[in-house]
Amino acid sequence: MEIDREVDCLQEEGDELFSNKEKNRNRQKLIEDYRTLKIATHNINGIKGSFSKLELLLDWAKKEKIDIIGINETNTTERQNKFNISKQEEFVGIWSDAETNKKKGSREGLLINRK
C-alpha cells in the first residue's frame, strides 16, 4: 500500500529512539495525518433555473469528503454564483464569466473546501 511506504520512509529516521509500542503509536498517528486530496469534476448543465442542482452537488461532496470540485456549463453570472455559494460554510467558489458572444454552455467554477 502506498501510504504504508510513505509512512515507513517518514518513520525510518527515528527508529532507534522509540520502543516497538511507541513506533506503532507513531505509525498510526502518521497514517491518520496522511491526507489525500480528492478532486471531482461535474458538467452541471445549467443551474440558472434550478439552484437545487448545486445544493445536491455540494451535499454529495460533503458526504464523499471532496476537496475541490470543478463545475462547467453553469450558465450563470459570477454574481449569481457568489450569491448561491454564500450560504455554504464549507466551500468557497471561484467563478469565470462567459465569453462575450457565448450565452449557452459556458461559465465554469471551482468549489474549494475550506478545511
**Domain ranges in the chain?**
2-33, 39-113
Q: Are 68 and 111 a contacting pair, CB within 8 Å?
A: yes
The pLDDT of residue 39 is above 90: yes
Mean pLDDT, range 64-79, rounded to an integer: 87
Mean pLDDT of the chain: 76
Banded pLDDT at 78 (limits 50, 70, 90)? confident
Nearest to 88 by CA among 70, 106, 115: 115
What is the per-residue pLDDT for 19?
62
User: Which residue(s) pair with 95 in the sheet?
Assistant: 109
pTM of model > 0.85: no
Dihedral sign of CA atoms 58, 64, 70, 75 in order: negative
